[in-house]
Amino acid sequence: MNSLRPIGIIGTGKYVPERILTNSDLEKMVETNDEWIVSRTGIRERHIAAEHEATSDLAYQAAIKALDSAGMKAEDLELIIVATITPDTSFPSTACILQDKLGAKGAAAFDLSAACSGFVYSLATATSFLQTGMYNNALIIGADTLSRITDYTDRNTCVLFGDGAGAVVLGEVPQGRGFKSFDLGAEGAGGSLLKLEAGGSRLPASQQTLEEKKHFIYMNGREVFKFAVRVMGTATERVLEKAGLDKTDIDLFVPHQANIRIIQSAMQRLELSEDKCVINVDRYANTSAASIPLALVEAAEEGRMKEGDTVLMVGFGGGLTWGASVLVW
């Protein structure tokens, strides 16, 4: 990977909808309480899309900021990938809708579906295209509007999710910087632990699927938790090894923001102090594909990375899937 041209992040942007749903708001909707939510998940509030906002609208806001920070015009973009499991429509893809909104007429555009691991999967995909010279730049966005597929009468899931988008522009960077390794994986056998059952070709939308609430997220939280703790550790170790590094080389750890307890267990295994870990699950909850880019972009905006720092991103999610990357900032 290192003999190919170096590809890294040259622009960043993020967007979260204005409306905030707090734990005390949820106390009025389902039988739950702030103490339970904070102690079990670390979440205090989450942002929820307005009625008129769909995933491409969130993605658009993040994208224009990323393009601006890269000093790039939309018409110069060559590739757009939107990582999402809540596309505006099954087709056209959200990436095509976004391409039109941005006026990125020359760009190839497609969605990538790997749930919460989607952003890292997309980074790996685009980096491969760019390293080989097939394209020279790419806009990668993790965007999800999970509130649209969340059952707000189910306390097991409705406290966990939020909406948002994070975007990066990828391009050639000086030697020594950029992406050093990726570790992507899947355990399809665990697919039924986290799913949205209806609305596809297996179980098309019908009166019955509506009545059975099969257009909402189903999750076996305990099993997903165990999977998450396991793969956060193993994926991190593998991606470091592929880059020829070890855990002491990590300057900033950017984990998927699903549950503070999952993040803490990874930090313990890596023997990382809190100042080396990005945590914003308290303010945004689990935003699926947007989670890692929201954390990364926020860290960049706060000046937490300096040139040459080793940044490790790692996530897990539906599929089941995981993805990790080592990036020299």
The residues annotated as belonging to the active site are 116, 256, 286
Of the candidates 92, 190, 199, 221, which one interacts with ligand UT7 according to CB under 6 A? 221
Sign of CA dihedral 97, 90, 184, 235: positive
**Which of residues 317, 327, 328, 329 is near ligand UT7 by CB under 6 A?**
317
Nearer to ligand UT7, 40 or 238 (CB): 40
Alpha carbon distance 8, 71 (integer Å)? 15
Q: Does 314 help bind ligand UT7 (rule: CB under 6 A)?
A: no
DSSP state at residue 286: B
Interface with ligand UT7 by CB under 6 A: which range of 34-42, 90-98, 140-148, 206-214?
34-42
- Please tell me whether residue 159 binds ligand UT7 under the rule CB under 6 A: yes
User: Cα–Cα distance between 112 and 17 in angstroms, integer?
Assistant: 22
28 binds ligand UT7 (CB under 6 A): no
Q: Hey, is 304 helix, strand or coil?
A: coil
Q: Which stretch binds ligand UT7 (CB under 6 A): 51-59, 104-112, 151-159, 229-237?
A: 151-159
State which residue, 37 or 79, has the beta carbon closest to ligand UT7.
37
Residue 31: CB minimum distance to ligand UT7, A: 7
Number of residues that bind ligand UT7 (CB under 6 A): 20
**CA–CA separation, 249 and 270 (whole Å):** 10
- In the chain, % helix, strand, coil (3-state, to 5) comes to 40, 25, 35
Taking CB under 6 A as the binding criterion, the range among 5-13, 153-161, 235-243, 247-255 that sits at the site for ligand UT7 is: 153-161
Q: Which stretch binds ligand UT7 (CB under 6 A): 37-45, 195-203, 238-246, 272-280?
A: 37-45
For ligand UT7, give the closer residue by CB, 152 or 225: 225
What is the distance between the alpha carbons of residues 5 and 142, in angstroms, rounded to a whole number?
24
Q: What is the DSSP string of 113-169?
A: --GGGHHHHHHHHHHHHHHTTS-S-EEEEEEEEGGGG--TT-HHHHTTB-EEEEEEE
Helix (H, G, I), strand (E, B) or coil at 310: strand
Give yes or no for residue 135 binding ligand UT7 (CB under 6 A).
no
The answer to whether the beta carbons of residues 225 and 262 sit under 8 Å apart is yes
**Does 228 interact with ligand UT7 (rule: CB under 6 A)?**
yes
Q: Which residue is nearest to ligand UT7 (CB)?
A: 221
Residues 6+ apart with CB under 8 A from 295: 166, 254, 255, 257, 278, 279, 280
**In this complex, which beta carbon is closest to ligand UT7, that of residue 36 or of residue 110?**
36
Give the per-residue contact string, 89-118, with ligand UT7 (x = CB under 6 A; - = no). Answer: ---------------------------x--
Q: Is the dihedral of CA 279, 285, 286, 290 positive or negative?
A: negative
DSSP code, position 5: P
- Residue 152 as a binder of ligand UT7 (CB under 6 A): the answer is no
Q: Please give the residue ranges that form the binding site for ligand UT7 (CB under 6 A).
A: 32, 36-37, 40-41, 116, 155-156, 159, 194, 219, 221-222, 224-225, 228, 258-259, 286, 317
